[in-house]
Structure 1
Amino acid sequence: MIDEVVMLRHGRTQYNLEHRLQGQIDVPLDIVGQWQADQTGFALASRFYWAKVNHLAEHPELIAQPGFGAAERTDVRQWQQAPAASRRMAVVSSDLFRARQTAHAFADVLGLEVRVDARLRERSFGQWEGLTREEIKEQDAEAYASWKHHTGGETRYGVESRAQVGERGAAAVCDLIADPAINGEGAGRHDPVTLMLVGHGSWITATIANLLGLDPNGMNALGGLRNASWCRLKVRHTVNGQPVDTPYFELDEYNKTPAVADSADWENGPSDLRGAGMLDWRPVIW
């Protein structure tokens, strides 16, 4: 049974650096984004190391064994009997490449499979995809101002509304939680499962807002997410000991980054990754 959901945003891309709306345009991580994804991946792999123990316990053929003539074989029962093996993890990523890169930076360390699901795609920005805010403002200052103030003017350009994104995301999360192939119930299992979802900033914030019953257009409901940051929600399947048809969600962590983000320039990366002429990342100015 899935009792925890972690949502991880992808690392930085060139579009992020240039403040271009990516939406569902498929672009890769840049060198700093790969560094961010790796740093977060290492931190989360350390935190969730039990997922590797569980995976090896279920697939003992993957446990390294010494060659002929060794004094003894690796005892696979140590993995199978370890308390850490009692919990599983399922990793599901948006099908956009930047999210898949970020998912593999985490999952590959633990030996976990990455499933792909297009329902985790970023908010569609319609005709505005690929544009900067300056270009949008020049094109239609009224619609830009309405978007800025969360009054929906962007939808006239085919932009998916915040409410629509949140509904799409929440439906996907609830479907995945109920999916027997992911929660293990199809195989008759009832062990606890952490669901790791790797996706995009606007999708994550809108989805969490919907799951918590917040106004998707509320100006201060949830802040924006840094690249390669994560959020964590508890999933409640009972209330006062009684099962419920629809799970309840509690937000435990939001916009968390690894410790290195507090001591390094997280948005621009270390100096030895920055080639000549690379732009400096700047905060978004409306």
Structure 2
Amino acid sequence: MIDEVMMLRHGRTQYNLEHRLQGQIDVPLDIVGQWQVDQTGFALASRYYWAKVNRLAEHPEAIAQPGPDAAERTDTRQFEEAPAAGRRMVVMTSDLFRAQQTAHAFADILGLPVTCDQRLRERSFGEWEGMTRAEIKAVAADDYASWKQHTGGETKHGVESRAAVGQRGADAVRALVIDSAYSDSTPTTLMLVTHGSWITATISNLLELDPDGMNALGGMRNACWCRLKVRHSVNGTPTEQPLWELEEYNKAPAIADSADWENGPTDLRGPHMPSWQPIVW
């Protein structure tokens, strides 16, 4: 049974650096984005090390064994009997490459398989995909202003509304949480590797917040995560629908507090790489 859902945003891309709307354009991580997801992958792999134990307990054939002259064989029962093996992790990612790269930076450390799912794709930005805010403002000033004010002008240009992407994402999460593949008694963490607008809108929907209202959640930084607890009962009584509690939002690994997270270490930045700057509307 899925009782925890993690949502992890992909690392930085060249489009992020240039403040271009990516939407569903397939853009890979840049060098700083790869550094970000590696740092986050290391941190989360340490936090969720039990997932590797569980995987090896289920697949003891994957446990390394010494050669025929060794005094002993690796005792696979240690993995099978470890309390850590009692919890399972499932890793799913948007099929866009930047998300896949991010998922593997975490999952490969723990030996976990990664499944792609198009339902986790980013919000579509229609005609505006690939454009900067300045470029959009130059050709559609009124609709740009409406988008900025959360009054929907962007939808005239084929942009998926915040409510629509939130509904799409929440439908996917709810379907996964009740999927029969994970309905046994094994407590399960679902790791979803996806995109910033998708995460914010989906969590807003699950928590019944207005994605365009004053109580809307703030944006997500690259390679940061959110964590939701999923409750299937209250005081021992099963609920008709899962209940959601947001326990972490826009969390980063500890290194983000001491390093320049958006720009990365200086030894990664070549002479032709501009510095990342905050978005200016």
TM-score scaled by length of structure 2 = 0.99
The alignment status of 1:88 with 2:88, answered yes or no, reads yes
Kindly state the Cα deviation for residue 240 of structure 1 after the two structures are TM-superposed: 2.9
1:166 alignment counterpart: 166
3-state SS of paired residue (1:61): helix
Flag structure 1 segments of 5+ consecutive residues without an equivalent: none
1:217 alignment counterpart: 212
Residues 95 and 117 in structure 1, CA contact (< 8 A), matched pair in contact too: yes
Kindly state the Cα deviation for residue 220 of structure 1 after the two structures are TM-superposed: 4.4
The alignment status of 1:196 with 2:164, answered yes or no, reads no
- 1:16-31 map, 5 Å: 16-31=16-31
1:2 alignment counterpart: 2
Instruction: Using the TM superposition, name which of 86-95 and 239-248 deviates more.
Output: 239-248
Amino acid at match of 1:126: G
Kindly state the Cα deviation for residue 219 of structure 1 after the two structures are TM-superposed: 3.7
3-state SS of paired residue (1:284): coil
Residues 150 and 219 in structure 1, CA contact (< 8 A), matched pair in contact too: no
Q: Deviations over 1:122-161 (max 9, x none)?
A: 0000000000000000011100000001000000000000
TM-score scaled by length of structure 1 = 0.97
2:277 alignment counterpart: 282
2:242 alignment counterpart: 247
Distance 2:114 2:179 in 1: 16
Q: Deviations over 1:249-281 (max 9, x none)?
A: 000000000000000000000011111110100
Runs (4 or more) in structure 1 with deviation over 4 Å come to none
Distance 2:170 2:228 in 1: 13
Residues 162 and 217 in structure 1, CA contact (< 8 A), matched pair in contact too: yes
Residues 88 and 194 in structure 1, CA contact (< 8 A), matched pair in contact too: yes
Distance 1:237 1:76 in 2: 33
3-state SS of paired residue (1:45): helix
Q: Supply the RMSD in Å over aligned alpha carbons.
A: 0.7
Residues 40 and 257 in structure 1, CA contact (< 8 A), matched pair in contact too: yes
3-state SS of paired residue (1:233): strand
2:35 alignment counterpart: 35
Kindly state the Cα deviation for residue 104 of structure 1 after the two structures are TM-superposed: 0.3
Residues 163 and 216 in structure 1, CA contact (< 8 A), matched pair in contact too: yes
Task: Give the % identical residues.
Answer: 75
